[in-house]
Amino acid sequence: MATQNSASVTITLFLLFLFPFPFVSTTQQNQIYIVDIIRDDNGDRIIHDIEHIHRSYLLSVKETEDEARASLVYSYKHTLNGFSAVLSPEEAKKLSEMEGVVSVRKSESGRYSLLTTRSWKFVGLEEPLKEEAINNHKKGTDLLAKAKYGQNIIVGMIDSGVWPESNSFRDEGMGPIPQRWKGICQNGTAFPSFLCNRKIIGARYYLQGYETVYGPLDEKQDYRSARDKDGHGTHTASIVAGRTVPAASAIGGFANGTASGGAPLARLAIYKACWPIKGKSKDLGNTCTDVDMLKAIDDAIEDGVDVLSVSIGYPKPIPYRDDVIARAALEATRKNVAVVCSAGNNGPSGRTLSNPAPWVITVAASTLDRTFLAPIVLHNGTIIEGRSITPMQMNSSFHKLVFAGDVENSSVAKNDSGYCLDGSLDAKKVKGKIVVCMRGKGMRLAKGLEVRRAGGVGLILGNNEAFGEDVPCDVHFVTATGVSYQNAMKLLQYLRSSNDPKALLLPGTTVLNTKPAPLMASFSSRGPNIVDPFVLKPDITAPGVDILAAWTEEDGPTRSDKDKRVVKYNLFSGTSMSCPHITAAATLLKAIHPTWTSAAIRSALITTASTTDNMGEPMKDETGKPATPFAYGSGHFQPLKASDPGLIYDSSYTDYILHTCSLGETQELKLNYHCPNPLPDPNNLNYPTIQIHRLNGTKKTVSRTVTNVGNPRSVYKFSAQSPKEYTILASPNVLEFEYVGQKKNFTITVMAKRGQLPARIESDEDQYYFGWYAWTHKHHVVRSTVAVSFL
């Protein structure tokens, strides 16, 4: 998803109002439909046969063989049993009445959008990484060595492509490509097949859905190939599996250090399914059509990827039946492919999660222990803390300081807003001055451009109250520093009280080991999960703020049309950046435990996550108050601990299908599965956390099963931390294991405490109260978060 907050301009573009512009078709009436047909049991049919079958369906509604062929957009094999095609409403209706056709529905193209140096050290994976150790067959004791740096694992990236020449994707010293790999390196513009190597082992691109909706790709906007012009795909791929690159840094030398992906020897398979919006500024970020993504994931499953990284989301929560990522990911779990997704960048408001399905790992974003301090010196001697990664162009003298709201052009801006929107500043009052602009409306980079347009020499970007302490860092086009809400208020107070307010902006410096960290990023989407109130989401948080990783050399660091600067590494933020951190962790876990299911990997990550910051206090959010599981899920990931979780909560494809049965979605998902009667309790999905929606003043018992993956003989004891509103009990409360792989059932009962219920339940939103329980044996603490609402 568009990396919302940090790289300012890239953000929030949810293409809610794009109307399909049919290209293949001749009339406005035609559009893409997704057609599901009955699954026969011949699972091993080759794609050629499948296409033939699909064309024969089309032939019965189209006039000629050629028309049928031209109308077929994609045939799918794994993600669904069916195809996508350009149809008129009449043809769609006719098709839906045919025998063997399960459903025909309109594609909703154009609504999905794309939503590291220090991060690994921060979570206890030491750098620089000794990749040579593997080649020398040295026995390492640390996680990376145990996982052989991920070298046998194949990671599929559904994104905007890759910049293959980046140092992060060198393949020197890497062993042969795993033999089970079935993918290809698709030839295309500026991406001949020989560009793939032992690091980037596959590359494909998907344009048929995009071009059907928007017309032919504008080749000035992007390459007709897997080459990344946008930067997003290169960044995410290098966070997962970039090689160790010493002395990498962002523009201006910020965040200097050794850049490395989390699984530096893992193999990358690139599936480019996201493209620039036609005729729009690239500032808006790329869009991904549902039919292209379905095909990309379909191919990834067929090619043999082990883990899929999807930093893409729908702009708001939608039911699984309407969500192609959820649907494709469900089929991926059938082949035991672990799917990791971004939680979305629509925070800090609640009920904003993307990708909340229990069969994916949903990742929130938080900070690293690194900031870019850039002090602001006031003329009265006071120093205010600011943050900046903008190379300074100002000389070291004081300049007059003004508030944008006081220097607006009254014929343009009448509200004294101080937002520095385009054309709002009065050049006569701004020339040569430093301008304080407020966040809350308009794009961050554009504010700097407006200050520059009006002749200002510097920008101080002040947070509004909602953004609080979460100060973003951007590479502005004018000398610039960002400040927290509190500091913005201090500056205004100074401006109001001084006759001759002046300030000096000092250049930013990279500061490590900052405290407290991690902090939740304000942009990170929050629960509760309103699509599936029986599943607590997000699952986990990982670094997603100012992450240094490889970049396209085709696009400036800000991704603005106006930015002609070329960089090899760039800082970028979003749940798009936290997602690939978890993908890398899942890759290492898969390497260490090749037999684990994707549910086991998710469980290990969730039950070992940490909820405290580096000061030992509860992790906080942008307000400076303790964050809740609706922000961080079960906490910050700890890959070392996740590699040895003790117990896991496992689930299978069938368990997920049963879950969709109890949600009443199986029919809608057209899964061709006969739901049992009575339906299972949706709270009994064997998830490593518990969310009880509307306990209603009484009690609720849910069942769980754990599998021993730790010591053969072990005795796990139950403990819980209940809030004052309810009690968490387990039966039995001791679990004795004799062997590895042994399963034990238990129940958890959540009982409301009489007299402790909230007096008044907040109007329309369910208020949740959080607790946890844990099973403990020696160093193994298997912790599960519990969230309960009462109404």
Ligand X SMILES: *[C@@H]1O[C@H](CO)[C@@H](O)[C@H](O)[C@H]1NC(C)=O
- List contacts with ligand X (CB under 6 A): 187-189, 192, 256-257, 378, 380-382, 395, 397, 409, 411-415, 417, 423, 426-428, 432, 490, 493-494, 497, 694, 696, 705, 743, 745
Strand partners, 705: 745
- Nearest distance from residue 254's CB to ligand X, in Å? 9
Q: Can you tell me the distance from the alpha carbon of 390 to that of 410, in angstroms, rounded to the nearest whole number? A: 30
Which of 82/188 has CB closer to ligand X? 188
Which of 250/669 has CB closer to ligand X? 250
- Nearest distance from residue 411's CB to ligand X, in Å? 5
- Nearest distance from residue 496's CB to ligand X, in Å? 8
Q: Can you tell me the distance from the alpha carbon of 159 to that of 271, in angstroms, rounded to the nearest whole number? A: 6
- Nearest distance from residue 741's CB to ligand X, in Å? 12
- Cis peptide bond prior to 192, omega within 30° of 0: no
DSSP of 562-574: T-----SEEEE-S
Asked whether 162 and 203 are in contact (CB, 8 A), the reply is yes
- Nearest distance from residue 50's CB to ligand X, in Å? 25
- Nearest distance from residue 397's CB to ligand X, in Å? 5
Which of 353/413 has CB closer to ligand X? 413
Pairing of strands 768-777, 780-789: antiparallel
Instruction: Identify the helix (H) or strand (E) that includes residue 768.
Output: strand 768-777
For residue 123, the one-letter residue type is V
- Nearest distance from residue 256's CB to ligand X, in Å? 4
- Which of 75, 109, 113, 232 does the annotation list as catalytic? 232
Tell me whether residue 576 is one of the annotated catalytic residues: yes
With tokens 């493209």, the residue in question is 275
Which of 232/704 has CB closer to ligand X? 704
Query: Apex CA 161: angle with CA 157 and CA 164, to 5°?
Result: 105
- Nearest distance from residue 423's CB to ligand X, in Å? 6
Q: Can you tell me the distance from the alpha carbon of 605 to that of 267, in angstroms, rounded to the nearest whole number? A: 21
Tell me whether residue 159 is one of the annotated catalytic residues: yes
SS3 4: coil
- Nearest distance from residue 207's CB to ligand X, in Å? 12
Which of 632/716 has CB closer to ligand X? 716
Q: Can you tell me the distance from the alpha carbon of 626 to that of 631, in angstroms, rounded to the nearest whole number? A: 10
Which of 20/257 has CB closer to ligand X? 257
- Which of 107, 113, 159, 298 does the annotation list as catalytic? 159
Q: Can you tell me the distance from the alpha carbon of 341 to that of 633, in angstroms, rounded to the nearest whole number? A: 14
Which of 384/589 has CB closer to ligand X? 384
Q: What is the 3-state secondary structure (H, E, C) of 174-231?
A: CCCCCCCCCCCECCECCECHHHCCCCEEEEEECCHHHHHHHCCCCCCCCCCCCECCCC
**Phi-psi label, residue 616: left if phi above 0, alpha if psi -120 to 50, beta otherwise:** left
Query: Apex CA 126: angle with CA 121 and CA 130, to 5°?
Result: 140
Pairing of strands 434-438, 458-462: parallel
Pairing of strands 714-721, 458-462: unpaired
Tell me whether residue 703 is one of the annotated catalytic residues: no
Q: What is the 3-state secondary structure (H, E, C) of 676-723?
A: CCCCCCHHHCCCCCEEECCCCCCEEEEEEEEEECCCCCEEEEEEEECC
- Count of helices and strands (H, E) across the chain: 19, 37
Which of 347/418 has CB closer to ligand X? 418
Q: Output b/e per residue, 405-429; b: 16+ Cβ within 10 A.
A: bebbbeeebeeebbbbbeebbbeeb
SS3 159: strand
Which of 322/426 has CB closer to ligand X? 426
Q: Can you tell me the distance from the alpha carbon of 188 to that of 184, in angstroms, rounded to the nearest whole number? A: 12
**Neighbour-count burial of 456, counting CB atoms closer than 10 A to its CB (0-12 exposed, 13-18 middle, 19+ buried):** buried
Which of 464/705 has CB closer to ligand X? 705
Considering only CA atoms, which of 379, 427, 425, 431 is closest in space to residue 404?
425
Which of 17/194 has CB closer to ligand X? 194
With tokens 């006081």, the residue in question is 406
* C-alpha distance from residue 420 to each of 390, 403, 494 (Å): 18, 10, 20
* C-alpha distance from residue 87 to each of 28, 131, 212, 263 (Å): 11, 52, 11, 44
- At residue 239, φ and ψ (nearest 5 deg) are -65, -40
With tokens 């990911």, the residue in question is 329
- At residue 780, φ and ψ (nearest 5 deg) are -85, 120
Which of 257/304 has CB closer to ligand X? 257
Which of 413/605 has CB closer to ligand X? 413
- Which of 6, 225, 560, 576 does the annotation list as catalytic? 576
Considering only CA atoms, which of 785, 682, 765, 767 is closest in space to residue 725?
767
Asked whether 409 and 426 are in contact (CB, 8 A), the reply is yes
Q: Where are the beta strands (DSSP E) in 267-332?
A: 267-272, 274-276, 286-288, 307-310, 312-313
Active site residues per annotation:
159, 232, 576
